[in-house]
Amino acid sequence: MMDMAAPAETVLTNARIVLEGEVREGAVRFRGGEITDVSSGAARGEDLGGDLLIPGLIELHTDNLERHIQPRPRVDWPHDAAILAHDGELASVGITTVFDAMRVGSVPNEHGGYEPYARGLASELMQLRAAGALKISHFLHLRAEVCSATLAEELGAFGPDDRVGIVSLMDHTPGQRQFRDIGKLKAYVQGKRSLTEAQWEAHVANLKALRAAHGEAHEAATVAAAGRFGAVLASHDDTTEAHVATSAGYGIRLAEFPTTEEAARACRARGIAVMMGAPNLIRGGSHSGNVAAQALAEAGLLDIVSSDYVPSALLTAAFRLARLWGDLPRAIAAVTSSPARATGLADRGRIAPGLRADLVRVTMLGDTPVVRAVWSHGQRVA
């Protein structure tokens, strides 16, 4: 958090406060970064003019930091500047807690591979945090790619003091899970890397060989690492009941982006929370051709929303859900209290005395939510 002196007490009044299960007109008081009172009726303080006051949004899976670090292919932007820009962007759209997604598990391939970067970037992020340069609360989300060459070694470079909150078990082997339609994978990779046909075929063969050689050992190393970090273990792109059964066997309680309704229903049956991407919900479907988030929401199978690759989509998606469900508190919970519970963050995600003063003032422009102010741990950051 930036080193700014918070007022002795802040009172936000004439607000429509989104609480668990209700919207209440009243005021919120906070001091020293903590909510001290939530009351009905009028009070003296900063008049919000009837705007909504919601908890700060909690983002569990975003690729946004990677986008700032590499704004174009083969462009490595100065990291401190990129991290600060990422942090400021999230604050501006109402996100006050983020689990920054970083890939671990490199792929040595001349044309379609990934070089290790997570350990160095995480250290740079934590240095800025220690210096008080960041506006919002940051944790790490290590995206563990089992279809890789160096996953175990890269995981071994992290420890319990690194604020690793989530480890997701990912498998992007061509022909299954997210890219079971290999044509979708081909379009994605060639659009991103401009591979020739020969390069594409070599890339696919390389990934399949890596999965065959290291997949099982990498899965075991990932499960063990999550336990060592004290992190939540998540699955990624479960497609079948068998995938979900395997996830449950590992102790997974959070499923990122299941690709079919079959998998989502299996998650629900096993008590695994289902998270879907906000862009999927807003666009009306998955860019990979997988199940639509709206279909899961309509079926009662959606618990948590992530901004994925568009930070501003998180708030927009919450209000899209509110219209779909006819229930604003339930929709706001999908981006606040539900992700907080899924990751064991008992100190945030709701507006209640004793919790962090992470708050967002929202006004409506037609059906579009507009962020008017953001407080992170009691300090105004946007």
Q: What letter represents residue 173's amino acid?
A: T
Joined together, the tokens standing for residue 345 give 């963050």
Per-residue pLDDT at 260: 95
Question: How far does the chain reach from its first CA to its final CA, in angstroms?
Answer: 13
Q: Contact at 8 Å (CB) between 105 and 145?
A: yes
Handedness of CA 355, 134, 372, 285 (dihedral sign): negative
Q: Report all structural domains of the chain as residue ranges with CATH numbers, in order of start.
A: 1-55+348-382 (2.30.40.10), 57-346 (3.20.20.140)
Cβ–Cβ < 8 Å for 180, 156: no
Structural contact between residues 64 and 307, judged by C-beta atoms closer than 8 angstroms? yes
| Model pTM above 0.85 | yes
The predicted pLDDT at position 225 comes to: 97
Confidence at residue 3, expressed as pLDDT on a 0 to 100 scale: 44
Q: What is the mean pLDDT of each run of 10 residues along the chain (382 residues)?
A: 64 98 97 97 94 98 94 90 98 98 82 79 98 98 90 96 96 63 59 65 72 80 96 95 95 96 97 97 85 97 97 98 98 98 98 98 97 98 98
Maximum C-alpha span of the chain: 70
Q: Enumerate the H helices of the chain as residue ranges.
A: 64-69, 79-92, 118-130, 151-156, 182-193, 197-229, 241-249, 261-269, 278-283, 293-298, 313-325, 328-333, 337-342
DSSP SS3 for 254: strand
Nearest to 236 by CA among 79, 66, 103: 103
- Are 93 and 312 in contact, with CB atoms under 8 Å apart? yes
Amino acid letter, 196 = T
> Can you tell me whether residue 243 is helix, strand or coil?
helix
Q: Name the token pair of 219.
A: 């899965």
pLDDT score, position 176 = 65
CA distances from 114 to 71, 74, 107, 168 (A): 16, 11, 5, 17
Which residues make Cβ contacts (< 8 Å) with residue 190, sequence separation at least 6?
200
